[in-house]
Structure 1
Amino acid sequence: MKRIGVFTSGGDAPGMNACIRAVVRAAVFNNLEVYGIKRGYSGMIKGEIFRMESSSVSNIVQRGGTILKSARSMEFMTKEGRQKAYEQLQEFGIEALIAIGGEGTFTGAKVFFEEFGIPTVGAPGTIDNDLYGTDYTIGYDTAVNTALDAIDKIRDTADSHDRVFFIEVMGRDSGYIAIPCAIGGGAETVMIPGTETTVDSIIKTIRSGWERSKTSSIIILSEGEIEGGATQVAARVKEQIPNMDGRVTILGHVQRGGAPSAFDRLLASQLGIACVEGLLEGRHNVMAGIINSKVEFTPFEQASKTKKLLSPIYTEMVKMLSV
């Protein structure tokens, strides 16, 4: 193996640049030529491919986003689109790929290998932390801290005006961002998919707080909650508690941006190196992850399809700490 390609795909996450940097420098260290592919599978199809050297990744470890850009490609979901991508890789002599992304990225890489034999090792780049086979995904720690910083500020204004704030965080249907934000942010309760927290239980929590002379409350909701988003839940609570002074804050994409935390920089660097070493060991269709502080490789299908369960201990902690 002489030439490899690296790309980022799907939603961006803080730490992706640190991972790109680690891939490029680990490749150079191992006497491999490395090529950057812009805009994920879309750029692969269009031939947005360029040679990268060690200097190409100078001064990016602290930057959020991804210098390789990201995009979602409907064309790559077709056999014709994948054929075009393969032809472009052949044009540049690229023999293997490192994909930094999430479930959709890895699913595409698996199909690509089955059809054209291009091996791929993946690094889990998503703020949702919902991939099986790693304790943490790149960008998760930064996203939690970004959300928590916002929640701390909202707590100040909630207390000043005796208000109830319904704060919606990202995380798809995993709840991995919502739970640490609820515990670290001192929320009265949290709504995440797969738990028994209902609108009725929120109403009970707010009224119980008032009985204890609590004048403000913070309610954290994960964006994938089946009861609805923060706006819908707040409206339903207001119907039952007309005198509640409620506000809704949807943190949204602010959680994806910003400089990565020290933890994410270290994690991304470790996983980027692991991806290069995985390819050199002959691995393919696997995701590099960290489990109990050790690098482990998990098949793409297992990483994408196996449900990563959230410990019920954390929801119990929220209840206990909110009394």
Structure 2
Amino acid sequence: MFQKQLLDKLQLELPANTSLNEAIATALDISYDAAHRRSSFKSKFSLEESVILAQYYNLSLDRLFENTKDEIIAVEKTKLIHNETELQHYFDKSYESLYPLLNKKESHILYSAKDIPLFYTLENNLLSRFKMYVWLKLLDSAMVSKEFDSFSVSLSTLQSATALGNLYQNLNITEIWDITTVNSTLKQIHFYNQAGLLSNITALKLCKDLKLLITTISEKVKTENENYKFYYNELLLMNNNVLVSTKERQSLFVPFTILSYFQTSDRITCLQAEAFLNKQLQSSKLLNTAGEKEKLTFFNKVYSKIDALHQLIEASQILDFE
């Protein structure tokens, strides 16, 4: 019964021009005749073959049983990060996971941006270095008293981060933001500045870099830019969920802890996530096609937040009596 359910599920997921026997032979690296014996139930799949077949075509084995509840799905979890080496490994594994999806011509990313999308802060600049500092401060016990101005990462870590960040360029992307999307980055700058681990001069530079990043994003929000859609949602807070869709499959990435996430390609779950995100889009404002006043209103509110922190840091310099 399991073998029939597995084959029925596989048949539903295959492109129209791919035969069942061809799919089995490709995934298991066996002959066409051996594949035919399995598809005709003359031979049984071994447990290892079932797992390989399911992984190759992103099938959820837990859904092959009739009594499986819709509330239970199989997910893949990224490893937790405790130091820079593991941070680089995270960048590399994320790249390996996303590249096969994003390399397809018809791929699409739908990003619910509670925080500034990770990919924007994976460059070789001051803001990106600061974000890595924050992540490692929270994850690496050896970083407890480390000041930002004395912090650096290896060239290989920077290269891995940049490679992952570059995946986000020239893609079909839809982002949903709200006014609070920049809050966590602003809080991080303010916190470490107040804690004495981030100098006033560097904190002010970070504010300028953050404002430059927001300006760069705002310049992409144009009517004619069909590959980048920017939505503003005034009603709901985002959750950093990311849905990647291609012609053949979908994958949902859900935050787990700092940086780490759950990933699933379960078809029903991804469709449910897509339906929910589409509802968010319906209650959001597409700034690409909005009037100039609406665009300026949104981005000016974001700039005002950054300016407020910039002024606060400047004021603390003036009022420093020691």
TM-score exceeds 0.5: no
Which structure carries more helix by proportion?
2
Q: Which has the larger radius of gyration?
A: 2
Which structure carries more strand by proportion?
1
